[in-house]
């Protein structure tokens, strides 16, 4: 490990960055250095500009990936290297605004029914029942379930924040049946190969995609789709937006407001004022209007 990488790791650790963020930043800086074949200490604003063009035009990365690279480089040059040039001028990309994919209640039921392995099915059931990110669901511990208060403790979710979400009675019954069969120890959903580790996120993602195909769902479905569906279904049921924000663990209510799109889906029930007009036969046959005469410019 180079001294620069170690210094950057130390800078992130003392700021209590999440493990996934640390790995992402290190990977992005490594790719940046490999592209130019030099240490980032020898590179500057012009190289960053050229690298951003490379990411967009050549690699055609997703905008999320592009902005991860920007965040990593900003941290490296502003914090670790403490450069005096305006690091904040490294531009972010404006991400396209897309509405999240949402499943209907029937599609959720079909999806869960088509998951072959009970443990994976229960992970995704938990994600939908509590609106969890897939990494939050896979990292649940047995002690995170509080049946006396009917709550689930989500420990160190995104942003290194703890929160509580309601524990569904139906989910509790399914988890109790699962516990009697599997007797999990520390992790509620231990991995198949190594029970000392939680079930791998990638494993659940693959099973979710296969189940969506088996269920005949044409939408692009990932485990995160169940979180979107959880929020949307609550909104449709009349739960207010601030409550959904707290359940999802969003810092800013504007992030939660994306789920207001479901109200647009109700627009099909609105009657056009044209339909209110009485239906009467036309008084004269329809003829296209004559072309206006040509008028020369004054």
What's residue 298's pLDDT? 47
Same domain, 28 and 175: no
Same domain, 112 and 219: yes
Instruction: Assess if residue 99 is contained within a domain.
Output: no
Helix (H/G/I), strand (E/B), else coil: 115: coil
Which tokens go with 94?
Answer: 């404006």
Q: Name which of 75-79, 226-230, 269-273 the model is least confident about.
A: 269-273
Same domain, 134 and 235: yes
Same domain, 50 and 146: no
Reported pTM? 0.70
The residues annotated with a catalytic role in the active site are: 133, 158, 224, 227, 250, 259
Same domain, 169 and 245: yes
Same domain, 129 and 258: yes
What's residue 35's pLDDT? 94
Q: What is the mean pLDDT of the chain?
A: 86
Nearest CA-CA partner of 180 in 208, 127, 152, 142? 142
Instruction: Assess if residue 267 is contained within a domain.
Output: no
What's residue 91's pLDDT? 76
Gap between the Cα atoms of 81 and 91, Å rounded = 19
Residue after which a domain boundary falls, among 65, 89, 113 = 89
For range 109-134, the mean pLDDT: 93
What's residue 201's pLDDT? 92
Instruction: Assess if residue 286 is contained within a domain.
Output: no
Domain that holds residue 175: 105-262
Nearest CA-CA partner of 44 in 84, 11, 14, 101? 84
Residue after which a domain boundary falls, among 89, 122, 146 = 89
pLDDT over 90 at 267, yes or no: no
For range 99-116, the mean pLDDT: 91
For range 152-168, the mean pLDDT: 82
Number of domains in the chain: 2
Q: Which residue has the higher pLDDT, 171 or 251?
A: 171
Residue 235 φ/ψ, nearest 5 degrees = -65, -40
Instruction: Assess if residue 17 is contained within a domain.
Output: yes
pLDDT range class, residue 295, cuts 50, 70, 90: low
What's residue 277's pLDDT? 76
What's residue 288's pLDDT? 60
Packed helices 19-36 and 3-14: angle between N→C axes, nearest 10 degrees: 150
pLDDT over 90 at 286, yes or no: no
Can you give the CATH number for the domain in which 23 is found?
A: 1.10.150.130
Same domain, 55 and 112: no
Same domain, 251 and 123: yes
Same domain, 130 and 216: yes
What's residue 270's pLDDT? 66
Same domain, 126 and 238: yes
């Amino acid at each position: 490990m180079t001294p620069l990488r170690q210094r950057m790791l130390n800078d992130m650790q003392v700021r209590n960055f999440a493990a996934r963020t640390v790995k992402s930043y290190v990977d992005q800086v490594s790719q940046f250095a490999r592209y130019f074949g030099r240490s980032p200490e020898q590179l500057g604003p012009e190289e960053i500009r050229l690298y951003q063009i490379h990411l967009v035009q050549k690699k055609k990365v997703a905008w999320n990936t592009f902005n991860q690279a920007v965040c990593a480089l900003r941290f490296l040059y502003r914090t670790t290297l403490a450069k005096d040039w305006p690091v904040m001028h490294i531009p972010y990309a404006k991400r396209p605004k897309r509405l999240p994919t949402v499943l209907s209640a029937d599609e959720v039921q079909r999806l869960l029914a088509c998951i072959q392995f009970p443990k994976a099915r229960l992970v995704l059931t938990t994600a939908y029942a509590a609106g969890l990110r897939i990494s939050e669901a896979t990292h649940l511990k047995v002690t995170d379930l509080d049946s006396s208060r009917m709550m689930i403790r989500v420990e160190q979710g995104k942003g290194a924040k703890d929160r509580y979400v309601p524990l569904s009675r139906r989910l509790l019954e399914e988890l109790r049946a699962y516990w009697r069969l599997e007797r999990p120890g520390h992790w509620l959903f231990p991995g198949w190969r190594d029970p000392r580790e939680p079930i791998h996120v990638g494993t659940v993602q693959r099973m979710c995609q296969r189940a969506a195909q088996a269920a005949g769902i044409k939408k692009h479905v990932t485990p995160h789709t169940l979180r979107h569906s959880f929020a949307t279904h609550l909104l449709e049921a009349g739960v207010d937006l601030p409550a959904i924000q707290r359940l999802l663990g969003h810092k800013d209510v504007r992030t939660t407001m994306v789920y207001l799109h479901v109200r647009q889906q109700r627009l099909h029930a609105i009657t056009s004022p044209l339909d209110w007009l009485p239906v009467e036969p036309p008084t004269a046959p329809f003829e296209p209007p004559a072309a206006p005469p040509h008028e020369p410019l004054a």
